[in-house]
Amino acid sequence: MEGSVINIDKKQFQNDLIDWFHTEKRDLPWRRTADPYQIWISEIMLQQTRVDTVIPYYKRFVEKFPTLHDLAMADEEVLLKQWEGLGYYSRARNLQAGVREVAEKYGGKVPGSRKEILALKGVGPYTAGAVLSIAYGLPEHAVDGNVMRVLSRILLIDEDIAKPKTRKVFEEAVTALISHEDPSAFNQGLMELGALVCTPTSPKCLLCPVREHCAAFNEGRQHELPVKTKAKTNKGVNYAMVAIRSGESLLMEKRPSTGLLANMWQFPLLEIAESIGAPGVEERLSEQFKGTVEKAEKITSFKHVFSHLTWNVDGFIAKGVNLEIPENMKWVNAAEMDLLPISGPVQKMKTALTSRGDA
DNA sequence: AATTCGTGGGC
DNA sequence: TGCCCAAGAAT
């Protein structure tokens, strides 16, 4: 399998791929900059996230934080608000941690060695190679899902790409194949090919610029690759989400700094065994806040699917009187709430409130 | 090595 | 509807 690398006319393969990339590449915002900091941002946002989704976020982000220094100085809540809706929120906090490290240790210049950039928070093997090749023109491998799919077909590699150790096989393949004249176009070309032509289902082989190099195509086996075992099923959790009102204010709660939706804000959330009614909500919250939560009313019910779990949420509205609230909660008015970073489930709750005229 | 981390789109 | 997926990293 790795032996397949030597069966490729490397120079011809590089030329075919790179020529195609320069001709057919999409005009993406992060391809209009040479700033390593901005390229870094794009690579973080693109992790497990579609190009079309990232584009508007990237534009707003670089406008809000044009330089590495701007992001280093930013308030985390403002940062998370910019990231709201993009998902995987630890990416944003890790990015800022990495940026601050660059500001302190490297005088604000993104380091240009794999060892140094790999040590930055949120930067793994893929992102390190991507920034080094795209921003600095270095012949470093950048193996993502696209690259594994494309090369599994071209080189007829049938190892399970869901297994962590398999990535190394592809890193070695890229190291052997990468163009030293244009590493950036080579790496981006592999990914662009995966996105536009060598797609997971229905690969457009007749449009492929490197099909004559492709072992899978030559054997008619492109649909068999890549080999990828499937993930586990996700579990469900039941919650009561409660918008507690006092005058013109609503009670909001900041989530813990680790784990799911870290540091994001939400309406107070009760984990429940089964669906509980409004009386149950009043009882549990009154006890929790050592006050009175009354006039609870269910206003919505929805499901929110995460990667590995599902929230089944019953949404309530209620009134709070003389509540003792903990450190991680605060009363906010409508304008203040708009500044808080919130996740998908809270967004759904907010929509239910708004359509009802209660927020 | 296996889990944990979001979201929206496609079929 | 349910499942898979999309420029992965941290634990």
For residue A358, the model assigns a pLDDT of 64
A125 C-beta less than 7 Å away from strand B:
no
For residue A317, the model assigns a pLDDT of 97
The gap between A23 CA and C5 C1' (Å) is 27
Q: Give the burial string for A23-38 (b: 16+ CB within 10 Å, else e).
A: eeeeeeebeeeeebbb
Each residue's pLDDT tens digit, A36-74: 999 999 999 999 999 999 999 999 999 999 999 999 999
Please give the radius of gyration of chain A, using alpha carbons only, rounded to the nearest integer. Answer: 25
The gap between A246 CA and B2 C1' (Å) is 45
Find out whether A82 and A126 touch, Cβ atoms under 8 Å: no
For residue A356, the model assigns a pLDDT of 80
* For range A305-320, the mean pLDDT: 95
Active site residues of A: 43
Residues of chain A with pLDDT > 70, as a percent, come to 98
Distance CA(A94)–CA(A353), nearest Å, equals 33
Is the predicted pLDDT of residue A6 greater than 90, yes or no?
A: no
Each residue's pLDDT tens digit, A228-287: 998 777 889 999 999 999 999 999 999 999 999 999 999 999 999 887 899 999 999 999
Distance CA(A77)–CA(A215), nearest Å, equals 50
Contacts of A227-230 with CB under 8 Å at 24 or more apart are: A227/A152, A227/A158, A227/A159, A227/A160, A227/A161, A228/A160, A228/A161, A228/A162, A229/A160, A229/A162, A229/A163, A230/A162
Question: What are the residue ranges spanned by the domains of chain A?
Answer: 2-224, 235-356
For residue A1, the model assigns a pLDDT of 45
Q: What is the mean pLDDT of chain A?
A: 95
**Angle, CA of A250, A253 and A254, to the nearest 5°:** 140
Is the predicted pLDDT of residue A160 greater than 90, yes or no?
A: yes
Residues of chain A with pLDDT > 90, as a percent, come to 93
Find out whether A173 and A157 touch, Cβ atoms under 8 Å: yes
A43 C-beta less than 7 Å away from strand C:
yes
Is the predicted pLDDT of residue A83 greater than 50, yes or no?
A: yes
For residue A9, the model assigns a pLDDT of 94
Find out whether A251 and A323 touch, Cβ atoms under 8 Å: yes
Query: Hey, what CATH class is A235-356 in?
Result: alpha beta
Q: Which residue, among A174, A134, A129, A153, has the nearest Cα to A36 in the 3D structure?
A: A134
A152 C-beta less than 7 Å away from strand C:
no
* For range A153-167, the mean pLDDT: 95
Count H helices, E strands: chain A? 15, 7
CATH topology of domain A2-224: Endonuclease III; domain 1 (1.10.340)
List Cβ neighbours of A171 (8 Å cut-off, separation of 6 or more). Answer: A125, A141, A143
The gap between A79 CA and C5 C1' (Å) is 27
* For range A333-359, the mean pLDDT: 92
For residue A233, the model assigns a pLDDT of 73
DSSP character string of A68-99: HHHHHHS-HHHHHHHHTTS--THHHHHHHHHH
For residue A188, the model assigns a pLDDT of 97
* For range A8-27, the mean pLDDT: 96
Is the predicted pLDDT of residue A157 greater than 60, yes or no?
A: yes
* For range A198-214, the mean pLDDT: 95
* For range A151-164, the mean pLDDT: 95
What is the distance between the terminal CA atoms of chain A, rounded to a whole angstrom? 60
Residue found under tokens 């586990």 = A232
Confidence of residue A2 (pLDDT cuts 50, 70, 90): very low
- Strand spans (E) along A279-359: 292-305, 309-321, 329-332
A66 C-beta less than 7 Å away from strand C:
no
Distance CA(A148)–CA(A317), nearest Å, equals 48
A48 C-beta less than 7 Å away from strand C:
yes
Find out whether A297 and A349 touch, Cβ atoms under 8 Å: no
Distance CA(A13)–CA(A150), nearest Å, equals 13
* For range A318-343, the mean pLDDT: 97
Burial of A160 (C-beta count, 10 Å sphere; 0-12/13-18/19+): exposed
Which nucleotides on chain B have any atom < 7 A from a protein Cβ?
1-9, 11
Distance CA(A168)–CA(A358), nearest Å, equals 54
